[in-house]
Amino acid sequence: MAEVNTIPLSTQKSELESNFPELLVVKPKQDRTGLPPLEGAEQGKVVTRFPPEPNGYPHIGHAKAAIIDEEYAKMYGGKLIFRFDDTNPENERLEYYAAIKVGLDWLGIKYDQIKNTSDDIELIYKKAEEFIQSGYAYVCTCSKETISKNRREMTDCKCRAGDLSQNTKRWKDMFGKYKQGDAIVRYRGDMHSENTVMRDPTLLRIIDEPHPIHKSKYRVWPNYDFAVAIEDSIDGITHAFRTKEYELRNDLYYEILDKLKMRKPKVLEFARLEFDGMPVSKRILKPLVQEGKVSGYDDPRLPTLEAMRRRGIVPEAIRKFVLSLSFTKSDTLAPFDTLESFNRKIIDSTSIRLFMVTDPVKLIVKNNNVEKIEISNHPQKDMGKRNLQIDGSFYVSGDDAKSLKSGDEIRLLELYNARITKTGSEIEAEITDNKFKSEIPKIQWVPVRNAVKIEVLIPKILFVNEQFNENSLEIKQALVEPYYLELNVGAEIQFVRNGYCRKDSANQVIYTHK
RNA sequence: GCUCCUGUGGUGUAGUCCGGCUAAGCAUACUGCCCUCUCAAGGCAGUGAUCCCGGGUUCAAAUCCCGGCGGGAGCACCA
């Protein structure tokens, strides 16, 4: 070997080429774009699913899941099933079904089928009966506390030893005699398993709360593990993606399907997506909404889809962003920066340019000789022009005003150059010429006569070190050109030298990003 | 505590399964220049990683093995 290494590389190569050409074939290791290939995926046969519980408003986490589900289906020419996992009436509401669907449509996710797990309850009952009949499950009437204690201590309870007739009778009683909390169906797993999930987990339980769709038709409801496994299998799912915290439940998932002799999808996990200082959990968000610390679930500081839409984040940016995070299990606290960057590149070409002034200071041009000016709405794209009436009185931003000294020459953007003759609370200036000079400061302005007053909502980070940031929403007063009034709500605007904003209402914009 | 997962520049990732083609690619952030009647977008260049640490295997390790350490998750009649 050492001897081989003394031979020049080129010689080694030619030796190999003549003797063992197959060794030189380079393995396919080229850079990929998008998601990594799926194990065991066949072109045209992949079926994925997006299974949210309708228990809240959709957020960036839903977006990640849905986009991954859709992208993989697309990548393999397969299908995407949009399924509401609505098996806990206590948490679910009709408005959430709608909100999630609206969010998904906004994201541009195309699914081939939409369904509710709750529509398959009868079928799930059949599977449960099959389980009970074959002894893979039993009905347990122990208290919550006892069950929890037994699971921790790995000890069986007396219900576990119950025979078929007892279980059959108890199963019947779950639909009538028993009260909520009295009895549950448990999987006969392994009370000594190292995986706590396998220590006889719950499969079905009684919930009397009426279901948003089925009202009081059912009161025995499958829990997540049982419902998902069965649904995925019968829906023909080939690849089921879920977030990492479900990983321990894989054993259960596969075992349920194994015992039921049902087809097994491949389950894969990905990291949860959350932004730093922008929690998605209902536990944290709900009190904020209730206490009025945020204006609602569409408050622009929130990572909900509705909030991001209002703020001016576009779906394409979210998709690019999610894809840039790839499919990994490593914990990510995502960089909002990157999302903003993707967004900026997309909306730049569709954002109308307007002038906005904050902390206004008057600037009077003594020898104004312009009455009207026409300005392009976009530097490159043809987005029309707007007219501005000029009378020599302008507002400029306080920041700009502060830096001006007598004798300075400035350019009022798109208008003319002027020399400052007086500073202070009201600035005075005189026109010098109208040649474009790259070296003088260029500042934006608004005519005093018909300036429009608006509010700019500037969302900041919601939580700093787990603490609610009381200054997370800055509201700035600003003056803009009258043309603003002609724009539709929802319009993306780039206020020159200020940043991108989305028109939220007649007199309010939300600051999207720089 | 137990079990599982995870660890590549400031940040997010590619490469890790099948060790050499790249002493690490891309994006973002930052800096500078060009372009531009914007501090945007676009173009170019640059800063920045001994691939968590320590051993081992090998001619060769981010990639394989062993041992540490850090981070996260689960341990519900929620999903």
- What is the residue whose two structure tokens read 């509705």? A306
Structure tokens at A166: 């007892």
**Interface confidence (ipTM) of the complex:** 0.94
**Given a cut of 70, is residue A28 above it in pLDDT?**
no
| Residue A308's CATH number | 1.10.1160.10
Residues A440-459, buried b or exposed e (16+ Cβ, 10 A)? eebbbbbbbeebbebebbbb
Using C1' positions and the CA of A202, the closest nucleotide is B77
In this complex, the answer to whether residue A333 has its CB under 7 A from any atom of chain B, a nucleic strand, is yes
**Given a cut of 60, is residue A19 above it in pLDDT?**
no
Rounded, the Å distance between the CA of A36 and C1' of B60 is 28
In this complex, the answer to whether residue A374 has its CB under 7 A from any atom of chain B, a nucleic strand, is no
Q: Are residues A310 and A419 in the same domain?
A: no
pLDDT of residue A39: 86
**Given a cut of 90, is residue A16 above it in pLDDT?**
no
**Given a cut of 80, is residue A22 above it in pLDDT?**
no
In this complex, the answer to whether residue A51 has its CB under 7 A from any atom of chain B, a nucleic strand, is yes
What is the pTM assigned to this prediction?
Answer: 0.93
Q: Are residues A53 and A169 in the same domain?
A: yes
Q: Are residues A165 and A176 in the same domain?
A: yes
Q: Indicate the residue among A305, A333, A349 that finishes a domain.
A: A349
Mean pLDDT in residue range A492-512:
97
Q: Are residues A462 and A476 in the same domain?
A: yes
Predicted confidence (pLDDT) per residue in A73-106, tens digit: 999 999 999 999 999 999 999 999 999 999 999 9
Note whether residue A450 is domain-resident.
yes
Predicted confidence (pLDDT) per residue in A220-256, tens digit: 999 999 999 999 999 999 999 999 999 999 999 999 9
Note whether residue A210 is domain-resident.
yes
pLDDT of residue A465: 79
Give the structural domain span for A451. 351-513
pLDDT of residue A297: 95
Residues in Cβ contact with A188 at an 8 Å cutoff, skipping those fewer than 6 apart: A135, A136, A137, A138, A160, A200
Q: Indicate the residue among A321, A349, A377 that finishes a domain.
A: A349
| Residue A60's CATH number | 3.40.50.620
Q: Are residues A82 and A174 in the same domain?
A: yes
Note whether residue A42 is domain-resident.
no
Question: What's the domain count of chain A?
Answer: 3
Q: Are residues A441 and A508 in the same domain?
A: yes
Note whether residue A123 is domain-resident.
yes
Note whether residue A37 is domain-resident.
no
Q: Are residues A149 and A239 in the same domain?
A: yes
The residues with which A49 forms a beta bridge, in sequence order, are A81
Note whether residue A175 is domain-resident.
yes
Using C1' positions and the CA of A496, the closest nucleotide is B38
Q: Which of residues 127 to 166 on A have a Cβ less than 7 angstroms from any strand B atom?
A: 143-144, 147-148, 151-152
pLDDT of residue A31: 54
In this complex, the answer to whether residue A430 has its CB under 7 A from any atom of chain B, a nucleic strand, is no
Mean pLDDT of chain A: 92
Model confidence at A331, pLDDT cuts 50, 70, 90, reads: confident
Residues in Cβ contact with A89 at an 8 Å cutoff, skipping those fewer than 6 apart: A207, A209, A210, A211, A212, A221
Rounded, the Å distance between the CA of A337 and C1' of B46 is 21
Query: How far, in Å, CA of A365 to CA of A392, rounded?
Result: 5
Helix locations, A281-377, DSSP H: 282-290, 305-311, 315-325, 336-347
Note whether residue A292 is domain-resident.
yes
In this complex, the answer to whether residue A203 has its CB under 7 A from any atom of chain B, a nucleic strand, is no
Instruction: Answer yes or no: are the C-beta atoms of A140 and A157 closer than 8 Å.
Output: yes
Q: Are residues A393 and A493 in the same domain?
A: yes
pLDDT of residue A26: 39
Query: How far, in Å, CA of A234 to CA of A249, rounded?
Result: 19
| Among the listed residues A438, A440, A443, the one whose alpha carbon sits nearest the alpha carbon of residue A414 | A443
Q: Are residues A356 and A343 in the same domain?
A: no
Instruction: Answer yes or no: are the C-beta atoms of A311 and A496 closer than 8 Å.
Output: no
Note whether residue A224 is domain-resident.
yes
Q: Indicate the residue among A234, A255, A270 that finishes a domain.
A: A270
Report the half-sphere exposure of A278 (CA within 13 A, side-chain side).
24
Rounded, the Å distance between the CA of A218 and C1' of B62 is 55
In this complex, the answer to whether residue A496 has its CB under 7 A from any atom of chain B, a nucleic strand, is yes
Q: Are residues A426 and A286 in the same domain?
A: no
Instruction: Answer yes or no: are the C-beta atoms of A500 and A351 closer than 8 Å.
Output: yes
In this complex, the answer to whether residue A98 has its CB under 7 A from any atom of chain B, a nucleic strand, is no
Residues in Cβ contact with A131 at an 8 Å cutoff, skipping those fewer than 6 apart: A137, A185, A187, A203, A259, A260
Residues A305-332, buried b or exposed e (16+ Cβ, 10 A)? bbbbbbbbbbbebbbbbbbebebeeeeb
Q: Are residues A211 and A63 in the same domain?
A: yes
Predicted confidence (pLDDT) per residue in A349-397, tens digit: 999 999 999 999 999 999 999 999 999 999 999 999 999 999 999 999 9
Strand B positions closer than 7 A to protein CB: 2-8, 10-16, 18, 21-22, 25, 27-29, 36-42, 58-59, 71-79
Query: How far, in Å, CA of A260 to CA of A263, rounded?
Result: 9
| Residue A418's CATH number | 2.40.240.10
The residues with which A372 forms a beta bridge, in sequence order, are A389
Model confidence at A33, pLDDT cuts 50, 70, 90, reads: low
Q: Are residues A60 and A200 in the same domain?
A: yes
In this complex, the answer to whether residue A193 has its CB under 7 A from any atom of chain B, a nucleic strand, is no
